[in-house]
Amino acid sequence: METQDGADLCFPQFPNISCKEYTSLGTELKLSQIILSLMSLLIVALNLLVIIAVFHFRQLHTPTNILLLSLAVTDFLVGLLLMPYEILRLTSCWFLGDLMCILLACMVYFITSASVGIMVLISVERYVAICDPLHYPTRVTVRTVKLCVCLCWVCSVCFNSFFVKDDLINPGRHSSCYGECVLDVDYTLGTVDLVISFIIPVTVIVVLYMGVFVVALSHARAMRSHITAPSFQLPVTAAPKKSELKAARNLGVLIVVFLTCFCPYYAVSLAGVFETSGYFAGYLYYFNSCLNPVIYAMLYPWFRKAVKLIVTLQILKPGSSDANIL
- Residues facing 9 on adjacent strands: 20
Question: Whole-prediction pTM value?
Answer: 0.85
Rounded CA gap, 274 and 289, in Å? 21
Domain range 30-321, its CATH number among 1.20.1250.20, 3.40.720.10, 1.20.1070.10, 1.10.260.40: 1.20.1070.10
The pLDDT value recorded for residue 222 is 67
Which pLDDT score, from 0 to 100, does residue 143 have? 93
Q: What is the mean pLDDT of each run of 10 residues along the chain (326 residues)?
A: 59 78 64 85 93 93 93 93 85 83 88 91 89 87 94 92 80 78 74 84 89 77 61 49 72 85 74 57 82 86 91 90 86
d(CA 155, CA 169): 20
CA 252 vs. chain centroid, Å, equals 15
In the chain, where the domains are located: 30-321
Cα distance between the two ends of the chain? 64
pLDDT of residue 17: 81
pLDDT of residue 7: 58
pLDDT at 234: 43
The closest of 288, 283, 287, 289 to 268, measured between CA atoms, is 283
Contact 111, 88 (CB under 8 A): no
- How many CA within 13 A on the CB side of residue 232? 10
The set of residues, in sequence order, having a beta carbon less than 8 Å from that of 166 and lying 6+ positions away, is 173
d(CA 8, CA 179): 12
Specify the pLDDT at position 96.
85
